Chain A
Amino acid sequence: EPEVTQTPSHQVTQMGQEVILRCVPISNHLYFYWYRQILGQKVEFLVSFYNNEISEKSEIFDDQFSVERPDGSNFTLKIRSTKLEDSAMYFCASSEVLAGKSEQFFGPGTRLTVL
């Protein structure tokens, strides 16, 4: 069964450093998303991406965040200068069509720890 994969599973970084979280969405999917989950809290939408551009983003997704699809398979989330409060699980998801019209498949997540 096809699945979304994410690397690394755990990333530890110093405050102020840049991190790149990587995702490989399901191959025939066209819509890509990033969510985050602070420990013990709900999953929060960050950004959706379609046709090589951001289609929607939340208030959380400020200038410190960026997304990119550098090639035909990877989808990345970059945090330019990490803050302590960026510590969370980051989930990538993909769907065949728009979120409201088809299932979003979630990856296993990357745990980001900012020290």
Chain B
Amino acid sequence: GENVEQHPSTLSVQEGDSAVIKCTYSDSASNYFPWYKQELGKGPQLIIDIRSNVGEKKDQRIAVTLNKTAKHFSLHITETQPEDSAVYFCAASTDDKIIFGKGTRLHILP
């Protein structure tokens, strides 16, 4: 079955700097790659997603890239703000289920 690896597990960046989280997946049949933000006491919230026919997607300060050949995908957050502090999960999906990575705890330092 699908296995998603995510790095780093913890990331601290200065406010205003960029943050990058990287993931790999194992199942070449995966075709949908969502990223979720989870704040304390809440369920995961989708922040951006990318499908396997697209290499890059951007939404304001957030961008995702996908390298199907290498089975890598990444999340980039630019101009980080205090409210970006949360746990971020990458995930890979075929049709019926989403397989999550272990999460990255992002701390934005003042």
Chain A interface (Cβ < 8 Å from any Cβ of B) = 4, 33, 41-45, 48, 55-56, 58, 91, 93, 98-101, 103-109
Contact = CB atoms under 8 A, between A and B. Distances in A.
- Of the candidates B32, B45, B102, the one having the most CB atoms from chain A within 10 angstroms of its own CB is B32
B95 A101 contact: yes
Given A100-B94, A100-B95, A109-B43, A42 B100 contact: yes
A103 B97 contact: no
For the complex of A and B, the 7 pairs showing the least CB-CB separation, nearest first, are A106-B43, A56-B96, A100-B32, A43-B100, A42-B102, A100-B95, A45-B97
Contact of A99 (B45, B95, B103): B95
Contact of B44 (A43, A98, A99): A43
Contacts of B95: 98-101
A109 B30 CA distance: 26
Contacts of B98: 33, 45, 99, 104
A108 B93 contact: no
Contacts of A4: 43
